A and B are shown apart, each in its own frame.
Chain A
């Protein structure tokens, strides 16, 4: 949709959302900027400093601007769930819930009351409509380096019909040029790469601050056969595929292959032990609104910076699928999203849907080696 009505733009204070707002102003929409104050003051992004940058851009563009405080809901719905997920032995990806719940559910509701026809963000993704009145589809952006569709797989038809991604057809460098052309204060601002409420990547101390009991949940580190190699001070310090900071040495590189939250046991193994042939995915959402007739062929992405691997998806429950990779995939971690894209050669770049990696990944190596120990 590209009406000339009122559009609410989520302005983070970064260059992308600044340019998204500017382009909409230039297209003739009545733009209202909203900065969502999400994480507390310790956070590097979504802080009040960023809100001031966003306000400066809004002033320069001559648009109305508001700061909407969602810190309470963000703490409950994102930060605490993030900590709990680590305590359950998973590797959470909070940006998916943040995008779904805040940039879309909460902001869209706000936009509706504000009389907005649509919400726009600075995400790199594209939305298309199959035909007039047809269903809405989500696609990778022109700039594949900036692709953020992995975080957006939970959007539904209603949300897509009322969302604008003005940067979807632009290269990042073009976005910066627009910002410089418009003299926006955010033109040369550094990118935020980390999880916004985890300063310096030290997620373990964030988990311990939210859930102090994490510190008292130490346990054993074992090899593939169950032999105890050492002890650890809390499963929240581990992620599938992790190599550093394990605290045990066996004379060759070893990796975390499995985390058992009940026994508080961390299993380590060789690189081959991380190779996974199939995963179970739960909480599956299909963008079209209805599950396709499975099995279907798909390219499945198991973490943000993952090229995606060809796989066959089979429905095994109402919102549960099994993903069988054609070639084993390295270290898919429970708690991360598995996002399903149309396989190459078909409707290229389209996001079909996705869900959460659930099952204990089965290592091809373990299966092959049976009970062989490290």
Chain B
């Protein structure tokens, strides 16, 4: 990124750590072999993939044999949902429990499977974005086949109590999947201590490369492969391994594991500084999501009454500040964030909401400059209750 730019969109994607770039460059240069080949070239590549598998597993608190590398979290989510629900004989007897604030890569396959007879229950959220516990408990009594819930929301940063809910599901014999794409590297995760059966995540949200991720399969039936053939990943994901990507993912996970506490502290200091500054400058600003502990330390989703977030994003970009109106996937679309709508916000409120997410490399000087620009441009837009000028 250009040095004078201020990047506050780390929930969309993150810049690569230098260590990751170096490890990937080495892999691209020095590991020409196919990990499935028995010769020396193949064996060297295979060794690096195995090491990366250990690094990813350590970061998630699980064992290496549970990791199935994929082309990212979207693939992992599709793989899990289709592989556990879609391939089992009759869909009519299957019942999926998910929520209204999932990532589209869970919502879309759930909807597609629903058209083929799958029963889908969607747990609603309260005005802070927390899942409705009573609905969850009621749904459990219906003995669904699989629960799939997002750990930390990509738009609001709201963290759900999935560890506790996995216990409840496990006690009822219900399979439990977590989409942890936003949580990994920003929230403590130790799968060994949980009853989570499956977990999806992606490298590029934790300063690793794009296009690689994994599905963790700890217990329960192995999902049928989305991409069969080739026998890679214990037959669960065909296709020659993205060796350099997997190596980069491993290094990113290793760094995230070692630096997690420090990162969380730094993120929170920067995020709170941004919120305090914005709150002082723009008295009518409102936070989307809980202000207490159940939120990612790096994420701030705010509504600035009277602004149109898509225009604010462009205006900030022109001044060197990269932020987002909802998820990156929503840019260029007028449909308001389904997450904020599920939290009871109006269309106008959702369209006046901005997502700010800090990450590695951000400084307090940048935070102050970004807050100044947000304030200036919100006033330029004549946001309701602020003076023009």
> Chain A interface (Cβ within 8 Å of chain B)?
6, 32, 37, 64, 66-72, 110, 112-115
Report how far A71 CA is from B334 CA in the complex, Å. 8
Q: A64-B317, A69-B310 are in contact. Are A115 and B380 (CB under 8 A)?
A: yes
B59 proximal to A (CB < 8 A): no
A115-B334 contact given A68-B310, A69-B310, A110-B311, CB 8 Å threshold? no
- Asked if B332 lies at the interface with its beta carbon under 8 angstroms from chain A, I say yes
Check if B318 is an interface residue, CB within 8 A of chain A.
yes
A-B contact pairs, 23 of them (CB 8 A): A6-B318, A37-B332, A66-B314, A67-B332, A68-B310, A68-B311, A69-B332, A69-B333, A71-B334, A72-B334, A110-B311, A110-B314, A112-B380, A113-B308, A113-B312, A113-B315, A113-B380, A113-B381, A114-B314, A114-B315, A114-B318, A115-B319, A115-B377
- Chain B residues with Cβ under 8 A from A32's Cβ? 314, 318
For B311, give its contact among A37, A72, A113 (CB under 8 Å). A113
- The residues of B that contact A70 with a CB separation of less than 8 Å are 334
A113 lies within 8 A of B334 (CB): no
- Taking CB atoms, residues of chain B closer than 8 Å to A112 are 380
Shortest C-beta distance, A16 to chain B (Å), equals: 23
Total residues of chain B contacting the partner, CB 8 A: 15
In the assembled complex, the Cα of A32 lies from the Cα of B315 at a distance in Å of 10
CB distance from A72 to the nearest CB of B (A): 5
Q: Tell me the smallest distance from the CB of A249 to a CB of chain B, in Å.
A: 49
Set of chain A residues within 8 Å of B310, measured between Cβ atoms: 68-69
**5 pairs of A and B residues whose beta carbons are closest in the complex:** A69-B334, A113-B381, A114-B315, A67-B332, A66-B314
Chain A residue contacts of B311, Cβ below 8 A: 68, 110, 113-114
Contacts of B317 in A (CB 8 A): 64
Contacts of A66 in B (CB 8 A): 314
B318 and A115 form a contact (CB under 8 A): yes
Q: Return the chain A residue nearest B308 by Cβ.
A: A113
CA distance A110 to B377 in the complex (A): 11
Known: A113-B381, A115-B318. 20 other contacts (CB 8 A): A6-B318, A37-B332, A64-B318, A66-B314, A68-B310, A68-B311, A68-B314, A69-B310, A69-B333, A69-B334, A71-B334, A72-B334, A110-B314, A112-B380, A113-B308, A113-B311, A113-B312, A113-B380, A114-B311, A114-B314
Chain B residues in contact with chain A, CB under 8 A? 308, 310-312, 314-315, 317-319, 332-334, 377, 380-381
Residue of A at shortest CB range from B378? A113
- In the complex, what's the smallest C-beta–C-beta distance from A74 to chain B, in angstroms? 10
Shortest distance from the beta carbon of B223 to any chain A beta carbon, whole Å:
34
Q: Which of B308, B318, B319 has the most CB of A within 10 A?
A: B318
B189 CB, nearest partner CB in chain A, Å: 37
Chain A residues whose C-beta falls within 8 Å of the C-beta of B319 in the assembled complex: 115
Q: How far is the CA of A67 from the CA of B311 in the complex (A)?
A: 10
Q: Please give me the residue from chain A that is nearest to B380 by CB atom.
A: A113
- How distant is A325 from chain B, measured CB to nearest CB, in Å? 45
Task: With both chains docked as a complex, state the minimum distance between the C-beta of A250 and any C-beta of chain B, in angstroms.
Answer: 51
Q: Which residue of B lies closest to A114 (CB)?
A: B315
Q: Which residues of B contact A114 (CB under 8 A)?
A: 311, 314-315, 318
**Which B residues are CB-close (under 8 A) to A113?**
308, 311-312, 315, 377, 380-381
Report the minimal beta-carbon distance from B2 to chain A, rounded to whole angstroms.
13
Shortest Cβ distance from residue A125 to the other chain B in the assembled complex, whole angstroms: 26
Cα distance A54–B144 when bound, in Å?
Answer: 49
- B333 CB to nearest A CB, Å: 6
Query: What's the minimum C-beta distance from B332 to chain A, rounded to whole angstroms?
Result: 5
Task: State how many angstroms separate the Cβ of B224 from the closest Cβ of chain A.
Answer: 35
Q: How far is the CB of A116 from chain B (nearest CB, A)?
A: 9
A176 to B90, CA, bound (A): 61
Question: Of residues B308, B315, B319, B333, which shows the largest number of chain A Cβ atoms within 10 Å of its Cβ?
Answer: B315
* Nearest residue, chain B, Cβ from A70: B334
User: Smallest distance from the beta carbon of B387 to chain A beta carbons, Å?
Assistant: 15
In whole angstroms, what is the CA distance A68 to B310 when docked?
A: 8
Shortest C-beta distance, B79 to chain A (Å), equals 29
For residue A104, give the distance in angstroms from its CB to the closest CB of chain B. 16
In the assembly, what is the distance between CA of A67 and CA of B313, in Å? 12
Contacts of B332 in A (CB 8 A): 37, 67, 69
**B315 and A115 contact, CB distance less than 8 A:** yes
Please measure, in the bound complex, the distance between the C-alpha atom of A70 and the C-alpha atom of B311, giving whole angstroms: 12
CB-CB under 8 A from B381, the residues of chain A are 113
C-alpha spacing A72/B380, complex, angstroms = 24
Which residues on A sit within 8 Å (CB–CB) of B377?
A: 113, 115
B358 CB to closest chain A CB (Å) equals: 23
Shortest C-beta distance, B321 to chain A (Å), equals 13
Q: Which residue of B lies closest to A51 (CB)?
A: B332
A114 to B316, CA, bound (A): 8
Interface centre among B310, B312, B314, B381 (most CB of A within 10 A): B314
Q: How far is the CB of A66 from chain B (nearest CB, A)?
A: 5
Closest beta carbon of chain A to B329's beta carbon, Å: 14
Bound Cα distance from A324 to B216, whole angstroms: 80
Residues on A with C-beta less than 8 A from B318 are: 6, 32, 64, 114-115
Minimal Cβ-Cβ distance residue in B for A65 = B314
> Of all chain B residues, which has the CB nearest A64?
B318
Bound CA span A6–B333, Å: 25
- Distance (Å) between the CB of A238 and the closest chain B CB? 35
Least CB distance, A105 to chain B, in whole angstroms: 14
